[in-house]
Amino acid sequence: MVLSGESIDARQAQQAGLVSDIHPAALTDEYALKLATTIARHSPLALRAAKQSLRLSQEVSLQAGLQQERQLFSLLSATEDRREGIDAFLQKRTPEFKGR
């Protein structure tokens, strides 16, 4: 596709694994808001670490990426948000992450 310049439709992109979901244009905003709301429920620290790992994975070797992931996991395991996530799960309630 990149080299040939051929266009593909949404269904072909999904079959190739380039997109995960397809929605009618009329529902795109609704789906985007639902996805953003779901993401916003997670710990901001964990989201930041996940984004950092994804960006880094494009620039370094697998070994270096895995090392970075271990370091981030270690840092996240010492946060208040981690404890809040565990407590909320055990108490069957929605976590209230503070980004600490």
Domains, the chain = 41-90 (1.10.12)
Query: Is 57 exposed, middle or buried (CB count within 10 Å of its CB: 0-12, 13-18, 19+)?
Result: middle
Query: What's the pLDDT score for residue 39?
Result: 92
User: How many whole angstroms separate alpha carbon 49 and alpha carbon 68?
Assistant: 10
pLDDT reported for residue 49:
92
Cβ contacts of residue 96 below 8 Å, gap of 6+?
84, 88
Query: Residue 65: its pLDDT value, please?
Result: 87
Give burial (CB, 10 Å; 0-12/13-18/19+) of 43.
Answer: buried
pLDDT at site 1: 65
pLDDT of residue 58: 84
- What is the model's pTM? 0.68
**According to the model, what pLDDT value does residue 3 have?**
77
Tell me, what's the pLDDT at 26? 84
Cα of first residue to Cα of last residue in the chain, in angstroms, is 43
- Answer whether 97's CB lies under 8 Å from 39's CB: no
Q: Which residues of the chain have pLDDT under 50?
A: none
Residue type, 43: S
